[in-house]
């Protein structure tokens, strides 16, 4: 009788409510069965696996991506806008390089650390941002915040020319050349030789760190390393990024960021490069062909990409390394992740999630603060500094 007298809206009717509830239940079942999964842990060393299971349990727990934005591209695009930016007070240091250049380091000394009041023995984490990233990136700030709660000191390695400092020579950086990173590592270690020391690299920073570790083996002051969203095979990465949708969403923007990072140094760089041609690049591959590969003396872009691909050096890594990737990361396609190679090195552990995108790993209904990547970082760093003796004898 009431329905015949009162107009009931669609959502207010029994049919509408049933459809909404039905869709919700169906989506929840799909999410729990197909989206929320335990990561795949790839490691040939049983001792390393047990170490991670005990002291870094997050790598064996189900990862629940944010229910309304679990797709890789969406996570990648939204993370910079959603996640908070913890306040960090840096102390800047400029160090000179052998070729006359300079590198900007941003220190978070954590002098208020109650766990490690003695600065000489305070554990130190070296952080390497992504391709055009600096110490101001939100993921770097969150890593420092996590380290602060544990009492550790951090130092951020800003690649040449992108953190506000001037280029003193016509040289920037690339994923393959590890000379600047070697200088920074030895500089930091010389300042605090008694302090436990490890590093964490994100995206290109992770690639650079892996290439360094593959070159040095065990001959490094670093105790261990954490790698996040590294591009393992550069050929596969650029091919993925050149697909139409990925070019539109990521490649073109990243290319303009690279061009912007060198444009203010144009007067210095024009001594060696046709900057008008470099600024016409519309893809990362074109930029690397006209600029990066030429700067570092490669005969071709293929030679540069082969040298820059960490998958080719993974067998030579000589210290414990934990690498986190998502299999839906368009910057590092799943088929290019060197699973079989990792199994041949007892020092390497891969953690592969089904979702997370590129430096995304958002979780929770409103992922403003801690991400899955942050939790992996915090637990692994703490495990190395406080229980590392259990894996260093591997």
Q: Tell me, what's the pLDDT at 13?
A: 56
Q: Tell me, what's the pLDDT at 24?
A: 76
For the stretch 30-89, pLDDT in tens is 888 889 999 999 999 999 999 999 999 999 999 999 999 999 999 999 999 999 999 999
What tokens does 6 get?
A: 């009162």
User: Do residues 294 and 170 make contact, with C-beta atoms less than 8 angstroms apart?
Assistant: no
For the stretch 317-337, pLDDT in tens is 999 999 999 999 999 999 999
pLDDT of 17 above 80:
no
Which of 267, 285, 308 is the last residue in one of the domains?
308
Whether residue 5 is contained in a domain is answered as: no
Whether residue 13 is contained in a domain is answered as: no
Q: Tell me, what's the pLDDT at 5?
A: 44
Q: Are residues 197 and 294 in the same domain?
A: no
Whether residue 301 is contained in a domain is answered as: yes
Which of 279, 308, 337 is the last residue in one of the domains?
308
User: Do residues 208 and 255 make contact, with C-beta atoms less than 8 angstroms apart?
Assistant: no
Whether residue 175 is contained in a domain is answered as: yes
pLDDT of 205 above 60:
yes
Q: Are residues 132 and 221 in the same domain?
A: yes
Q: Which of 271-280, 360-369, 374-383 has the highest mean pLDDT?
A: 374-383
For the stretch 161-170, pLDDT in tens is 999 999 999 9
Mean local confidence (pLDDT), 141-149: 98
Q: Are residues 323 and 288 in the same domain?
A: no
For the stretch 94-119, pLDDT in tens is 999 999 999 999 999 999 999 999 99
Q: Are residues 100 and 43 in the same domain?
A: yes
Whether residue 194 is contained in a domain is answered as: yes
Q: Are residues 223 and 242 in the same domain?
A: no
Q: Are residues 120 and 205 in the same domain?
A: yes
Whether residue 6 is contained in a domain is answered as: no
Kind of pairing, strands 91-96 and 197-202?
Answer: unpaired
Q: Are residues 180 and 292 in the same domain?
A: no
**Dihedral sign, CA of 126, 132, 133, 135?**
positive
**What SS3 class is residue 152?**
coil
Distance CA(59)–CA(351), nearest Å, equals: 7
Whether residue 12 is contained in a domain is answered as: no
Q: Tell me, what's the pLDDT at 4?
A: 47
Q: Are residues 302 and 385 in the same domain?
A: no
Number of domains observed in the structure of the chain: 2
Q: Tell me, what's the pLDDT at 22?
A: 77
Q: Are residues 164 and 256 in the same domain?
A: no
Least trusted range by pLDDT, from 4-8, 34-38, 51-55, 360-364: 4-8
Cα-Cα end-to-end distance for the chain: 78
Distance CA(226)–CA(338), nearest Å, equals: 16
For the stretch 243-289, pLDDT in tens is 999 999 999 999 999 999 999 999 999 989 999 999 999 999 999 99
Q: Are residues 280 and 341 in the same domain?
A: no
Distance CA(35)–CA(26), nearest Å, equals: 13
Half-sphere exposure of 295 (CA within 13 A, CB side): 23
**What pTM was computed for the model?**
0.93
For the stretch 209-218, pLDDT in tens is 999 999 999 9
Known catalytic residues are 203, 329, 358
Task: Give ∠ CA 51-57-60 in degrees, rounded to 5.
Answer: 105
Q: Are residues 90 and 203 in the same domain?
A: yes
Question: What band does 392 get if pLDDT is binned at 50, 70 and 90?
Answer: low
Q: Find the CATH number of the domain harbouring 147.
A: 3.40.50.1820
Q: Are residues 201 and 253 in the same domain?
A: no
Which of 287, 308, 329 is the last residue in one of the domains?
308
Q: Which domain holds residue 93?
A: 36-232+310-392
Q: Tell me, what's the pLDDT at 18?
A: 76
């Amino acid at each position: 009788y009431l329905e015949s007298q009162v107009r009931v809206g669609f959502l207010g009717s029994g049919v509408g409510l049933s459809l909404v509830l039905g869709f919700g239940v169906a989506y929840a079942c799909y999410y729990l069965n197909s989206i929320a999964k335990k990561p795949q842990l790839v490691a040939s060393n049983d001792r390393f696996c047990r170490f991670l299971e005990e002291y870094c349990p997050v790598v064996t727990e189900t990862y629940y991506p944010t229910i309304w934005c679990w797709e890789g591209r969406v996570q990648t695009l939204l993370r910079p806008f959603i996640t908070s930016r913890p306040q960090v007070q840096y102390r800047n240091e400029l160090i000179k390089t052998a070729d006359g250049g300079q590198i900007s380091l941003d220190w978070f000394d954590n002098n208020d650390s109650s766990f490690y009041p003695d600065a000489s023995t305070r554990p130190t984490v070296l952080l390497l941002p992504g391709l055009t990233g600096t110490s101001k990136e939100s993921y770097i700030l969150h890593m420092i915040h996590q380290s602060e709660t544990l009492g550790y000191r951090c130092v951020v390695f800003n690649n040449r020319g992108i953190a506000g400092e001037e280029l003193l020579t016509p040289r920037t950086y690339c994923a393959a050349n590890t000379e600047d990173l070697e200088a920074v590592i030895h500089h930091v270690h010389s300042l605090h030789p008694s302090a436990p020391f490890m590093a964490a690299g994100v995206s290109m920073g992770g690639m650079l760190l892996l290439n360094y570790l593959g070159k040095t083996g065990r001959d490094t002051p670093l105790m261990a390393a954490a790698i996040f969203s590294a591009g393992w095979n550069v050929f596969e990465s650029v091919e993925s990024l050149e697909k139409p949708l990925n070019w539109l969403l990521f490649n073109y923007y990243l290319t303009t960021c690279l061009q912007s990072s060198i444009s203010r140094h144009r007067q210095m760089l024009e001594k060696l490069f046709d900057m008008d041609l470099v600024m016409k690049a519309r893809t990362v591959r074109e930029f690397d062909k006209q600029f990066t590969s030429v700067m570092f003396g490669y005969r071709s872009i293929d030679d540069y990409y082969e040298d820059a691909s960490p998958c080719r050096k993974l067998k030579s890594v000589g210290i414990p390394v934990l690498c986190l990737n998502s299999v839906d990361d368009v910057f590092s396609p799943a088929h290019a992740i060197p699973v079989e190679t990792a199994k041949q090195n007892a020092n390497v552990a891969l953690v592969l999630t089904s979702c997370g995108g590129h430096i995304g790993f958002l979780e929770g209904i409103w992922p403003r603060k801690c991400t899955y990547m942050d939790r992996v970082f915090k637990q692994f760093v703490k495990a190395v500094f406080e229980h590392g003796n259990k894996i260093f004898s591997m």
